[in-house]
Structure 1
């Protein structure tokens, strides 16, 4: 074992192995295929797969596919792809809860025969009313004391499709006066006339998540069923089911705090709503906290895994700062990203004392601290572009920007001085006329001080580009705490700028991440095509 994860789950597993409770540790990652994975799932993936690796155990990938109404094959394909992208391998074949439908059905029959389950003919509203509240106890359904024989007969009729959806359901017979609402005769089976992605139309009834999950864990002999604290109350039902169905191996559930991230929602249901309301363009929108969205934005597997590792595993709910996630990606990209110059909001510079037809080649490093990344050629000419924000029409003391009669250094090249501006009919600066000091290539003048360095691109070395700059989708720190979370949507979560990028960037096809000097880290958007006139870059993160 190399680096140890020193959290409470690690300590439990270490103790179990020391006591020889288990010969081999088995964990699982059990997503429901009803949406794309998000950053919260990444934390669970990291925990389950990493623990199994550390303890030389096995981690299963199992889809808890018990609701054909909301589940789709495209979600399964995406989940498989994203787990592989993160760099994890699961134990043997992919597993599905639907593999165990027949066994789960037979376990339901056992509960009925033990008089621990009954077919209820109350509708959803009535069941909710009978269940009671946190301050009032529930009351028994009038169908609770039906004979075992009648319950078996009704359950088989459910299976054969004799009832309408919502007309009847199978409930556990536990305790309607329990202080735990989940133990007030929870639903175990419901009718759903939907085609299942694997079992097709064989089944008309489907087990609930709570009934399925614990049985699937135990069938697979999962030693440590790790889930988030929201399932803490479900644990008592998890154990009740396993203790009453005559199953040999009984898995044990352990809970940890779910991931809460500033300015972010991590709920598939709420993320779906953002798509439905067209606030974002889909599951892989770069603003989304999905793995697909983060990937499209330029986040790397290493940065996501490092983030999950460093936030730790506890039983204490807390809100993680988004700046920490950004720190993890900056740290990873800083070491390997090629440096290029891009102008996001261009303004034209004319070097008046530079020869009209001369184009000067300048060799520079692709990374100032990593010579292994090699060198490239940039071009200096009479016509260049700088970012509009790097020019101030009024001279400001101690400013590091270009202004009239003030000198500034162009990155990797010469010192220039602004001498005149030209405006359009609206009064906006259209061009800046400058002079250059030909003795200052990559060095400062001897007898005067140059106040700053700005980036630039020669007109002869440009390609048009569109830059997508992102901010969090929400403008409050904890949108999850708000019932009307859509009220706090940030309407400026994406800003689009049109400018120029170095042509030479496109010569290296295998590069994915770039640092545009003084602008941030960017990645080519995956939806770029050769037919597009303008290439789109997504900003992964700013430089600080």
Structure 2
């Protein structure tokens, strides 16, 4: 696999070409899926409601909904809810919310194309009986161990089950008894017979694939009405056909499942269960993003072991986590456009996702000043108790967004890094006077020029305050400002008026670009500095910030008001991304 870095975004009005669009274009030209009153392109996004969606799912969402949008078709949201022990309404709700947040909808023309595999349980069962009656399925009564042993492996052909030639009537009665709850979990399973020599197939998924298994489990929608549940590989193609899906887009791991997909629909077609033409499955590469794990099992482990605070922890690659971190829907759509669609597996560098967020927020995020690691700056010659109003644009390139005002006073907060007692070469911020030269002069951005006159230390030798004198005629925006020439400019806030706030500095969760590759213990690669919480001082206007409102804190990066912990007048801010890619 290669690692792909950031690339230029495609033109907004010209969807990027890829092999899937070429297939769709050819199908439309040939009338492959022409049906009266139906669009030529109908796609679907079919998540299992057993967890929270992550950035990898965003690629599929943008692809399926985006293709339908671009071809004036429609995309269905369908929940593959056939595994009741792991599914819950909580996951259904968050998946629906995430799809909407990303900017897509399953509603069209006043109709909601929202479906569940459980909607089709009766039809799926009827088709299972049809397969048995026509010699294409049988009930296998082997133990799980024997079934696994007889299945063979990639180098060894499988062995037919001793129940493979069970009479259809016997298999049919067993299936009905399974449905009636007469057998415990694992006693029997329904399997397909794709061909006489299917167990010798080089494709493991063709070796008499399972269709139904016994599960005495409560289903979040159907309750206890069923104790047998269909397998995903059986449910998926049938659901596609019942919904008249035209192009079933899957990731590459489903390539080996395509022969069964095609066989099942072709075998059921004579039964009149659905209207031709049947769907076709096409595969594309899944998203592999560095510095992340995206296995649901491993993400759940992070949550269950309290390594993160929950599924929406801003360090998580879940969509709820990215949203809370400060990612915008537009930035994720831009990211998905940039990485493109292909059949080639590749690792996408995390910088591509972070760059997409910067490029989306830069032209629209309001600017603000924040001092994250404060050091007191005392303006000795400024009158105590007085203030001077300073102003700055909300956005330097969009004057129509207006301006913001904040006070200049005797005591300010500056960043600790803006003073150096013994300066290094090329340092242009505050430095103290020496025997042979005065202290440095620095512009307090949007305010005045100030000259360092000294500093204070505590008993441990730590610098606790810097003293300066300001030049009254040097205020930014006035004619006098141009008479002073300085090399350094720093940000600041008035100590008496600043908003004290909790700011969370998030970074990548893992230090290793491939934390779980090759069977590695991904927890050994956790970044101990993935979260740093500081008490910062912000310009006063930020007290009005509400959840999910994004800002560029000048010098520091892009931040968002936390949607969970912020309260009116007391926001908590999360760092979404730094201003530049400085990851090492």
CA contact (8 A) 2:548 2:563 kept: no
1:512 maps to which residue? 549
Cα deviation per residue 1:100-136 (whole Å; 9 max; x = unaligned)? 1111111111111122222222232322222111111
Q: CA deviation at 1:479?
A: 2.6
Matched, 1:20 2:20: no
2:9 maps to which residue? none
Q: CA deviation at 1:176?
A: 1.3
Say which of 405, 410, 413 aligns to 2:444: 410
Q: CA deviation at 1:98?
A: 0.6
Q: CA deviation at 1:381?
A: 0.7
CA contact (8 A) 1:339 1:367 kept: yes
Matched, 1:420 2:457: no
Say which of 244, 257, 260 aligns to 1:237: 260
Matched, 1:540 2:556: no
Q: CA deviation at 1:259?
A: 0.8
Q: CA deviation at 1:446?
A: 6.9
Q: What's the TM-score, normalizing by structure 2? A: 0.89
What is the CA–CA distance in structure 1 between the aligned matches of 2:297 and 2:217, rounded to whole Å? 20
Cα deviation per residue 1:16-43 (whole Å; 9 max; x = unaligned)? 1111112221111111111111111111
Runs of 4+ residues deviating >6 angstroms: 443-448
CA contact (8 A) 1:398 1:451 kept: no
Say which of 228, 239, 242 aligns to 1:219: 242
Cα deviation per residue 1:52-96 (whole Å; 9 max; x = unaligned)? 111111211111111111111011111111111122121433111
Q: CA deviation at 1:400?
A: 2.8
3-state SS in 1 of match to 2:413: strand
Matched, 1:57 2:68: no
Matched, 1:8 2:28: no
Say which of 466, 469, 486 aligns to 2:523: 486
Matched, 1:287 2:324: no
More off after superposition, 86-95 vs 68-77: 86-95
CA separation of 1:511/1:223 partners in 2, compared to 1, >3 Å: closer, same or farther?
Answer: closer
3-state SS in 2 of match to 1:232: helix
CA contact (8 A) 1:464 1:535 kept: no
**What's the Cα RMSD here?**
1.9
CA contact (8 A) 1:2 1:54 kept: no
1:100 maps to which residue? 120
Say which of 448, 460, 468 aligns to 2:504: 468
What is the CA–CA distance in structure 2 between the aligned matches of 1:447 and 1:27, rounded to whole Å? 65
3-state SS in 1 of match to 2:17: coil
2:152 maps to which residue? 132
3-state SS in 2 of match to 1:431: strand
CA separation of 1:46/1:530 partners in 2, compared to 1, >3 Å: closer, same or farther?
Answer: closer
What is the CA–CA distance in structure 1 between the aligned matches of 2:365 and 2:171, rounded to whole Å? 65
CA separation of 1:482/1:414 partners in 2, compared to 1, >3 Å: closer, same or farther?
Answer: farther
Ranges in structure 2 where 5+ consecutive residues have no aligned partner: 1-11, 35-39, 433-438
More off after superposition, 28-37 vs 109-118: 109-118
Say which of 267, 277, 297 aligns to 2:325: 297
Cα deviation per residue 1:176-235 (whole Å; 9 max; x = unaligned)? 111111111111111111111111110000001000000000111111000111111111
CA separation of 1:65/1:233 partners in 2, compared to 1, >3 Å: closer, same or farther?
Answer: same
What is the CA–CA distance in structure 1 between the aligned matches of 2:482 and 2:118, rounded to whole Å? 77
2:6 maps to which residue? none
CA contact (8 A) 1:137 1:176 kept: yes
What is the CA–CA distance in structure 2 between the aligned matches of 1:433 and 1:12, rounded to whole Å? 69
What is the CA–CA distance in structure 2 between the aligned matches of 1:497 and 1:297, rounded to whole Å? 16
Q: What's the TM-score, normalizing by structure 1? A: 0.96
Ranges in structure 1 where 5+ consecutive residues have no aligned partner: none
3-state SS in 2 of match to 1:22: coil
Equivalences for residues 64-79 of structure 1 within 5 A? 64-79=80-95
